[in-house]
Structure 1
Amino acid sequence: MAATSSFTAADTPRSRIRDLLPTLNLGRFAPGPKNSLTDVPGVLAHTQSIHSHPAAAPGSINTGVTTILPRKDWFHQACFAGLFRFNGSGEMTGSHWIEETGLLHSPIILTNSFAVGAAYQGIYEWAIREYGDEKGSVDWFLLPVVGETFDGYMNDIAKFSVKPEHIVQGMDQASADAVPEGNTGGGTGMLCHYFKGGTGCSSRVIPGEKKDYTVGALVQANYGAMRDFRIKGAPIGRLILEDQEKLMRANPVDPKLLAQAKLLIKLTEAKDKKDGSIIVVIATDAPLHPTQLQRVAKRATIGLARAGGCGHNPSGDIFLAFSTANEIPVQTVTAQARKVDPWTPSTLPIEYVDDQTINSIFENTADAVEEAILNAVCMAETMTGHDNNTVSALNLDQMKEMMERYL
């Protein structure tokens, strides 16, 4: 009788964690109707996967772009924002300006590490098309926000397949639809805990004193070792490895098991040299000021840790939170016009949550980030990519069977 590998594809269709395990406790608060980043009113998103390049071998290009617009008129109306760097082996452009002013007035583009320049240029190309003068000149201020993780194991990253036009297209087509998950957008070629990873989302609705608020999270998950992967405390990654080891001891010459072991050894060696990263974007319509949003961004660490993230030395774990509640005018002082006098201090009406009542926002941020990571892993599909590298999706049938003892 042939051995059944722990890494063989499951019969269960790729599904989100909430659908796979309906009795799993994912927090005290309910998700929004889409359980996605775009449950936050006004937030728009788009994903593109890229699988070809004229100079690349077939199957070796697996990358993409995730575009997030904080609001439709992000160019004139900034959002308050805050950042947290859990581990800094990564890049998020525009972060100095956000830390300096607490303002986000740029799209957020997530892509691969070698595509940061193309994404940066693409934002400018879109803005010049929309807001340049008849000569194509500009007199406004914009620092693009681009985050990255490294997909070089599955993607021939040196081919620079992401182009500025991909970013322009994403900005044109961004919508309030639920964000596709798994092998999508910037997460197309990403790995998570040695499983296929990628893009994941979740949201929570928080009852407020006068109205309900929404917190939404999007992750580009590309970090971690299998041994550390957990689902609500259950050591699923370790259990899968133990099952695989038992099968190998019982069937030491089984060709399928040997092939799987070889793939895992190759992946482990690659990840030990360069662990991946995770970018987390948190949106809310709760009125928060920049310092509060820095605090919210820090809570993404809790969700990451619950899933097994440890912030290893070569991992870029960067979290950005923004609020759509207050609209802060920007582009009010340019070379051509001064809508305000920069030498005469003026005030803006700003609303923000009382710090004494902010706990549920912190808690739901952690819950949404955790679920977003699990959705990224559960929705991702097995992929063979650059250099014939294969990374298996999490076996959902096996995971469900293991989770039964913990539910």
Structure 2
Amino acid sequence: MNNRLKARDLGIQIGSLSVGKHNQITDVPGVQVGHVTLSRELEDQEVIQTGVTAVLPHEGHLFYKKVPAACYVLNGFGKTAGLVQVDELGNIEAPIMLTNTFGVGAVMDGTLDYMLEQTPEVGDTTGTINLVVGECNDSYLNSIRRRAVKPEHAKLAIENASSSFDEGAVGAGAGMVCFQYKGGIGSSSRKVEEWHVGVLVNSNFGRREEFRYANYNSAGVDQDIPDGSIMITIATDAPLDSRQLKRLSKRASVGLGRIGSHIHHGSGDIIIAFSNSNQVDHFSEDQVKTFTSIQDSHPVMNTLFQAVAEATEEAVLNSLTSAHTTLGRKGRKVEALPYELLKNH
């Protein structure tokens, strides 16, 4: 589907750490990603350019086998659902879902339908379930008021999840704009000793003059493109608890700053991190549970921090180099990043 290139295909290498086999979040064993992309023209210059992306932390049953997790809000101009419980209990028990701002409710409904079908105990013999849905505002290109995202699209995105996925103007990234070029879904990974760190972003922020990888060119740019957002998902198989994952998530801000983000007033910049190394049994009756985790003071923690910073920066760049020129509502067009504008790095 996508014949655009990733940054490394263009000779751009970010950082000094080794990259995983596919340079995607799915280099973390067990992680899967699925998309549903909605793209069609309507009447009266209205256009649907939106979708859903699902990130599955492992291949098993996520409610029965929860993963340690954390979230960090760089700027809270966002409508993400489920973060309160993630912050309180330190785990994730459902797929991490991404969509547009007005699609959060529909995606919650569809994800709940999927999880209830898989988990007859929920809401009956056991408690309820916490769903995590992140969003970015794609209303510059997408006729967001038409609310094209439906519950069935969330279910299909989960069912589509695999270890191989497209980047760019796909899934939740179909209508996103980054540095006033076409943005969307981007991913990258790093190897740290025997472990992996993977990052997936939905990029929808920034202005041309802030982008540090391209020569500034504002010709033909609509300066009314609003402040956007970025959703960042960090995955690792390194044994980390929720407190350590919170520390890890904060380092994504380093990658954002390096590529040029100033974290605008109107930008929802939200990071969700998880480790699938230690899984938490929902039905365990053990009074005490023992887990293995990396010691905070060990030098490998610094390398994990570095991995997050590098992979975040590269994931944003990949979202730009992978995305294709996209037509949207009101005759708007957002150009793909021209490769010839990229500086030497």
Q: Which runs of 4+ in 1 moved over 6 A?
A: none
CA distance in 2, matches of 1:173, 1:26: 30
**Partners of 2:45 and 2:331 within 8 A in 1:** no
**Partners of 1:128 and 1:138 within 8 A in 2:** no
CA distance in 2, matches of 1:285, 1:56: 47
Unaligned 5+ segments in structure 1 are 1-12, 245-260, 333-338
**Partners of 2:36 and 2:156 within 8 A in 1:** no
1:86-235 matched pairs, under 5 angstroms: 86-132=74-120, 139-177=126-164, 179-207=165-193, 212-231=194-213
**Partners of 2:215 and 2:341 within 8 A in 1:** no
CA distance in 2, matches of 1:325, 1:91: 29
Answering whether residue 291 of structure 2 is matched by residue 303 of structure 1, we say: no
**Partners of 1:56 and 1:159 within 8 A in 2:** no
CA distance in 1, matches of 2:51, 2:339: 25
**Partners of 1:114 and 1:158 within 8 A in 2:** yes
**Partners of 2:35 and 2:160 within 8 A in 1:** no
Cα–Cα, structure 1 residues 164 and 230, in superposed 2: closer, same or farther, change >3 Å? same
Letter of the 1:174 partner, please give it.
Answer: A
Please report how far the alpha carbon of residue 164 of structure 1 lies from its aligned counterpart in structure 2 after TM superposition. Answer: 0.4
Name the residue aligned to 1:354: 295
Q: CA RMSD in A?
A: 1.8
Cα–Cα, structure 1 residues 354 and 139, in superposed 2: closer, same or farther, change >3 Å? closer
| Correspondence for 2:307 among 364, 376, 401 | 364
User: Which of 1 and 2 has greater Rg?
Assistant: 1
Name the residue aligned to 1:251: none
CA distance in 2, matches of 1:325, 1:268: 45
CA distance in 2, matches of 1:56, 1:32: 45
**Partners of 1:287 and 1:353 within 8 A in 2:** yes
Please report how far the alpha carbon of residue 59 of structure 1 lies from its aligned counterpart in structure 2 after TM superposition. Answer: 6.7
The SS at the match of 1:201 is strand
Name the residue aligned to 2:66: 78
CA distance in 2, matches of 1:19, 1:396: 11
**Partners of 2:40 and 2:48 within 8 A in 1:** yes
Name the residue aligned to 2:28: 40
Cα–Cα, structure 1 residues 56 and 99, in superposed 2: closer, same or farther, change >3 Å? farther
Please report how far the alpha carbon of residue 137 of structure 1 lies from its aligned counterpart in structure 2 after TM superposition. Answer: 6.1
The SS at the match of 1:269 is coil
Letter of the 2:223 partner, please give it.
Answer: T
The SS at the match of 1:110 is strand
Name the residue aligned to 1:276: 228
Answering whether residue 9 of structure 2 is matched by residue 19 of structure 1, we say: yes
1:284-305 residue CA offsets vs partner (Å, 9 max, x unmatched): 0000011110011000001111
1:10-32 residue CA offsets vs partner (Å, 9 max, x unmatched): xxx621111102xx341111111
TM-score, normalising length from structure 1? 0.80
- Determine what percentage of the aligned residue pairs are the same residue: 36
The SS at the match of 2:223 is helix
The SS at the match of 1:62 is strand
CA distance in 1, matches of 2:186, 2:225: 24
Please report how far the alpha carbon of residue 106 of structure 1 lies from its aligned counterpart in structure 2 after TM superposition. Answer: 1.3
Letter of the 2:150 partner, please give it.
Answer: K
Cα–Cα, structure 1 residues 174 and 58, in superposed 2: closer, same or farther, change >3 Å? farther
TM-score, normalising length from structure 2? 0.94
**Partners of 1:59 and 1:384 within 8 A in 2:** no
CA distance in 1, matches of 2:296, 2:206: 33
Please report how far the alpha carbon of residue 193 of structure 1 lies from its aligned counterpart in structure 2 after TM superposition. Answer: 0.4
Please report how far the alpha carbon of residue 237 of structure 1 lies from its aligned counterpart in structure 2 after TM superposition. Answer: 4.6
Unaligned 5+ segments in structure 2 are none
The SS at the match of 2:116 is helix
**Partners of 2:114 and 2:155 within 8 A in 1:** yes
Please report how far the alpha carbon of residue 139 of structure 1 lies from its aligned counterpart in structure 2 after TM superposition. Answer: 4.2
| Correspondence for 1:386 among 324, 329, 333 | 329
Please report how far the alpha carbon of residue 131 of structure 1 lies from its aligned counterpart in structure 2 after TM superposition. Answer: 2.0
Cα–Cα, structure 1 residues 138 and 225, in superposed 2: closer, same or farther, change >3 Å? farther
Letter of the 1:29 partner, please give it.
Answer: L
Answering whether residue 264 of structure 2 is matched by residue 312 of structure 1, we say: yes
Please report how far the alpha carbon of residue 58 of structure 1 lies from its aligned counterpart in structure 2 after TM superposition. Answer: 7.0
Answering whether residue 338 of structure 2 is matched by residue 395 of structure 1, we say: yes
Name the residue aligned to 1:258: none
The SS at the match of 2:169 is coil
The SS at the match of 1:61 is strand
Letter of the 2:4 partner, please give it.
Answer: R
